[in-house]
């Protein structure tokens, strides 16, 4: 009975997510490299993110885990390029 209820809840959640999204943005959250902030049902724009637009970068911390979001060699090269651009600032 518990497994049936869990399956029902999973299907109901999936259907709610599909029908609460705008059609043109639904598939944006299905990529392996989509930023988590773009996968929500509501706009990510909030007071804090608006304040960040006026700031300039001073320090970056990165916590990586092997295999996170399955980066390929092209993505890893883009990380190196980003690092070089950040050092220039």
Confidence (pLDDT) at 26: 47
Query: Residue 46: is its pLDDT beyond 80?
Result: no
Structural domain of 77: 2-88
Number of domains in the chain: 1
Owner of token pair 């999973």: 10
Among 4-8, 26-30, 70-74, the range scoring the smallest mean pLDDT is 26-30
Burial pattern 45-60, b for ≥16 Cβ within 10 A else e, equals: eeeeeeeeeeeeeeee
User: Higher confidence at residue 70 or residue 19?
Assistant: 70
Residue with tokens 């959640």: 13
Contact between residue 33 and residue 69 where contact means Cβ atoms under 8 Å apart: yes
């Amino acid at each position: 009975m518990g497994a049936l209820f869990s399956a029902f809840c999973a299907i109901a959640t999936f259907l709610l997510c599909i029908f609460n999204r705008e059609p043109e943005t639904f598939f944006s959250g299905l990529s392996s490299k989509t930023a988590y902030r773009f996968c929500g049902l509501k706009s990510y724009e909030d007071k804090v993110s608006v304040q960040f637009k006026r700031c300039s970068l001073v320090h970056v911390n990165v916590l990586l885990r092997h295999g996170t979001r399955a980066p390929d060699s092209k993505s890893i090269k883009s990380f190196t390029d980003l690092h070089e651009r950040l050092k220039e600032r």
